[in-house]
Amino acid sequence: MNTTTEVLLSALVLIGAGFTFVGSLSLVRFKDFYTRLHGPTKATTLGVGCLLIASSVFFSVTGEGLSLHEILVTFFLFITAPVSAHLLAKAALHLGLPSIAALPEEAPTTRRDSAPSRRD
């Protein structure tokens, strides 16, 4: 393995570990459900993704062969983690879970009484 590959792999591992640490720290530091959901989801997705890519590159360079499992795990992680976070946040909004940040006002709706009738 040459020096360039070692530097690239080391950088990917350090970046992945840094993102994972920041995601774990945000889970402890943030105060409400929505921010606790946002921090670890985004940071951990990037962190684990970098670690899996580094592992895949390492094993393909050392002659073990390209690992299809690591590529699939990375792909499914990048797809499912943001979707599951979105669904959890939407369920929390639906249940009326309070948030520290101000939520946007809902658009005014028209009442059925004031809408013109189509029976004419």
Q: What is the pTM of this model?
A: 0.70
| Statement: residue 5 has pLDDT above 60 | yes
H or E stretch at 9: helix 3-29
The predicted-structure confidence for 68-90, as pLDDT tens digits, reads as follows 888 888 889 889 988 998 999 89
Tokens matching residue 98:
């309070």
Alpha-carbon distance 46 to 37, whole Å?
15
Alpha-carbon distance 90 to 16, whole Å?
28
Q: Hey, where are the domains in the chain? A: 3-95
Helix (H, G, I), strand (E, B) or coil at 63: coil
